[in-house]
Structure 1
Amino acid sequence: MPPSVIEDGHAPDEVGAVRRFVNPDGSVVRERLTAFSTTTASTPTSPWRARFP
């Protein structure tokens, strides 16, 4: 996964933060953090949701 950039002046683990990825093909993916980060090896689901353009 390409490195992400946090937008909007939020902390990377703050709910409401937006992170942006630039894929190798040049496309941009933006995701908003909608829950506190609780991702562990036993819970593979990411709290990052709501991908939007």
Structure 2
Amino acid sequence: MSKQKRGKYIKTLPNWRGTCPICGRKRVKLVWSKKDDNGNTINICKKCSLT
């Protein structure tokens, strides 16, 4: 079974690495999604997705 949070699959996504909008960590994978207060979907890091 393939892992969709690492490897070749992530590198095909646009803007897969950057600064997390919640915690401010720099140069991390932004693969997990979350809805913000306005109802927009934002990409967040793994650390923020677990909380």
| TM-score normalized with structure 1 length | 0.25
Q: Greater helix share, 1 or 2? A: 2
| TM-score normalized with structure 2 length | 0.26
